[in-house]
């Protein structure tokens, strides 16, 4: 009886570990995608900062608002990464 119980317990643990690995892989893929989006947004932000010095005062105001919006998106994406880190047991 004890051997049967251990056998079923080991099958359950093995099958459960595959599910955990799959979930961690999906979470990792999502984190990589978010990081790539942050990278693209940073590049756009840097381009806008370069344009800022050549812009007229009216254009500067628009560019600053665009930069502010990009910063907000980056902040939200970083918070999303933190959420996935805490969800999946990763740190940092």
Phi then psi for 47, rounded to 5 degrees? Answer: -65, -40
Q: Is the pLDDT of residue 32 over 50?
A: yes
The CA dihedral of 32, 38, 41, 46, to the nearest 10 degrees, is -120
Q: Is the pLDDT of residue 78 over 70?
A: yes
Question: In the structure encoding, which two tokens stand for residue 75, read together?
Answer: 């902040």
Burial 43-53 (b: 16+ CB within 10 A, else e): eebeebeeeee
The whole-number pLDDT of residue 53 equals 87
The residue written with tokens 């990081």 in the block is 35
38 near 78, Cβ under 8 Å?
yes
The whole-number pLDDT of residue 82 equals 84
Q: Is the pLDDT of residue 92 over 50?
A: no
Task: Summarize the confidence of residues 83-92 as an average pLDDT.
Answer: 61
Task: Summarize the confidence of residues 29-50 as an average pLDDT.
Answer: 91
- For the chain, what is the mean pLDDT? 80
Q: Is the pLDDT of residue 43 over 90?
A: yes
């Amino acid at each position: 009886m004890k051997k049967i119980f251990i056998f079923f317990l080991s099958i359950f643990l093995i099958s459960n570990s595959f599910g955990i690995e799959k979930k961690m892989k999906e979470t990792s893929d999502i984190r990589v995608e978010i990081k790539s989006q942050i990278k693209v947004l940073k590049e756009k932000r840097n381009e806008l900062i370069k344009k800022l010095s050549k812009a007229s005062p009216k254009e500067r105001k628009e560019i600053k608002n665009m930069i502010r919006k990009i910063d907000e998106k980056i902040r939200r994406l970083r918070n999303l990464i933190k959420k996935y880190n805490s969800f999946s047991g990763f740190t940092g």
